């Protein structure tokens, strides 16, 4: 394994690997390593752990530029000092900034703050053939043609290795808390719908089997228990061998949840967002969840799981698969980067 400490070193390593037609697995913190299809053993592992620098932090502008290998928890601690945060990201121990972006790992507060891709203003990426390319801008996101930073989010390192990222930040909320209640599914869905229409938008409205969980974010006076809900902890993570992320339009999510409920599988449905994470233990369960989502015009991908559950992680190729393939061919002509980690 190699771990360059600068973008130029990453680009040089990829140029050499491309010339030798060596496949490269890009390794961040390892928290998103069980996504995409099972990949053959690579010729080379390239770690981003050396890319930890805080390049520029302009707190007054609510922007920060960091190396992609910076641990997300270290970034959170740094930002907390001046009262700021990166709320769109799913910040978990071990995750790196680049890994979160490459996996498009949005947090539970997406309802309030948006998806993590909206936080990436500018990115420096090392392409498969060894070029350093910069896309986006530090403060303005107007583009003509393809928006490179947005393309990189969720590409699982197959378009290039993110070496530096400029992020849009938010003020740290003065107060936030979770509240919860139980009940039947129909009642929980209706109560969740009403809560999403509060004057102060919740951070999250989540339905789980038998439960409704609401996160309120904002001024202390706005973070009070809604009628019928009690203070509670954050919903626990789904305990299952694998995890499927199903997505439909927010208006159709209740119909998807109703179908998932009949399967008896653990799930976490983010109302207003259109995402339902479902715990699975077999390929048959993956297929059942995918069938339910596609029947409603959505999709379902394996977000985590052992190789046996990731034989078909993506399902039918998305409408833009051919465009993404051409983009990969332009940025990684030899096809060395993370083979198997993105739809063919």
Instruction: Give yes or no for residue 167 having a pLDDT over 90.
Output: yes
pLDDT, mean over the chain: 92
* Backbone φ, ψ for residue 177 (5° rounding): -160, 155
Other residues' Cβ atoms within 10 Å of the Cβ of residue 96: 30
Residues 233-250 pLDDT 10s: 999 999 999 999 999 999
Contact 327, 333 (CB under 8 A): no
pLDDT at 199: 63
CA–centroid distance for 24 within its chain: 22
Lowest mean pLDDT, pick from 64-73, 130-139, 187-196, 254-263: 130-139
Write the CA distances from 235 to 4, 211, 215, 232, integer angstroms: 38, 9, 10, 8
Residues 76-116 pLDDT 10s: 999 999 999 999 999 999 999 999 999 999 999 999 999 99
pLDDT at 344: 62
Residues 294-340 pLDDT 10s: 999 999 999 999 999 998 898 888 777 788 888 888 999 999 999 87
User: Where do the H-state alpha helices sit in the chain?
Assistant: 7-19, 72-80, 97-102, 110-113, 148-152, 185-195, 253-263, 283-295, 321-331
Other residues' Cβ atoms within 10 Å of the Cβ of residue 85: 18
Residues 130-149 pLDDT 10s: 999 999 886 655 555 568 88
Cα gap 228→327, rounded to integer Å: 51
Cα gap 168→149, rounded to integer Å: 13
pLDDT at 319: 76
DSSP for 58-86 reads EGGGTEEEEETTSBHHHHHHHHHTTTEE-
pLDDT at 32: 85
What confidence tier does 31 reach under pLDDT thresholds 50, 70, 90? confident
Instruction: Give yes or no for residue 117 having a pLDDT over 80.
Output: yes
pLDDT at 82: 96
pLDDT at 123: 95
Cα gap 279→288, rounded to integer Å: 12
Residues 38-71 pLDDT 10s: 878 899 999 999 999 999 999 999 999 999 999 9
CA-based angle 303:307:308, to the nearest 5? 100
What confidence tier does 198 reach under pLDDT thresholds 50, 70, 90? confident
pLDDT at 341: 78
- Token pair for 272: 């207003």
pLDDT at 146: 64
pLDDT at 139: 60
pLDDT at 321: 78
For the chain, domains (ranges, CATH) are 7-172+322-331 (3.30.465.10), 175-309 (no CATH)
């Amino acid at each position: 394994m190699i771990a360059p400490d600068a973008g130029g070193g990453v680009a040089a390593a990829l140029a050499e690997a491309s010339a030798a037609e060596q496949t490269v697995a890009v390794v961040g913190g390892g928290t998103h390593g069980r996504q995409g299809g099972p990949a053959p053993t690579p010729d080379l592992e390239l770690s981003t752990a050396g890319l930890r620098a805080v390049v520029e932090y302009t707190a007054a502008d609510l922007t920060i530029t960091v190396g992609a290998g910076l641990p997300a928890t270290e970034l959170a601690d740094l930002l907390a000092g001046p009262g700021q945060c990166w709320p769109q990201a799913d910040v978990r121990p071990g995750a790196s900034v680049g890994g979160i972006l490459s996996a498009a790992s949005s947090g539970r507060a997406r309802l309030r703050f948006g998806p993590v891709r909206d936080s990436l203003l500018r990115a420096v990426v090392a392409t498969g053939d060894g070029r350093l390319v910069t896309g986006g801008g530090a403060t303005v996101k107007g583009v003509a043609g393809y928006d490179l930073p947005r393309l990189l989010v969720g590409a699982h390192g197959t378009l290039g290795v993110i070496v530096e990222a400029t992020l849009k930040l938010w003020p740290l909320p003065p107060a936030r808390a979770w509240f919860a209640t139980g009940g039947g599914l129909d009642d929980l869905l209706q109560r969740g719908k009403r809560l999403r229409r509060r004057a102060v938008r919740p951070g999250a409205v989540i339905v789980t089997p038998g439960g409704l969980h609401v996160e309120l974010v904002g001024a202390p006076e706005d973070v009070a228990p809604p009628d019928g809900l009690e203070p509670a902890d954050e919903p626990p993570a789904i305990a299952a061998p694998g995890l499927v992320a199903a997505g439909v339009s927010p208006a159709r999510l209740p119909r998807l949840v109703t179908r998932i409920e009949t399967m008896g599988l653990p799930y976490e449905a983010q109302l207003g967002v259109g995402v339902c994470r479902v715990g699975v233990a077999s390929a048959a369960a993956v297929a059942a969840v995918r069938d339910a989502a596609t029947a409603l015009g959505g999709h379902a991908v394996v977000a985590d799981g052992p190789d046996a559950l990731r034989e078909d992680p993506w399902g039918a190729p998305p409408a833009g698969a051919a465009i993404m393939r051409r983009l990969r061919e332009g940025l990684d002509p030899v096809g060395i980067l993370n083979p198997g980690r993105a739809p063919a």
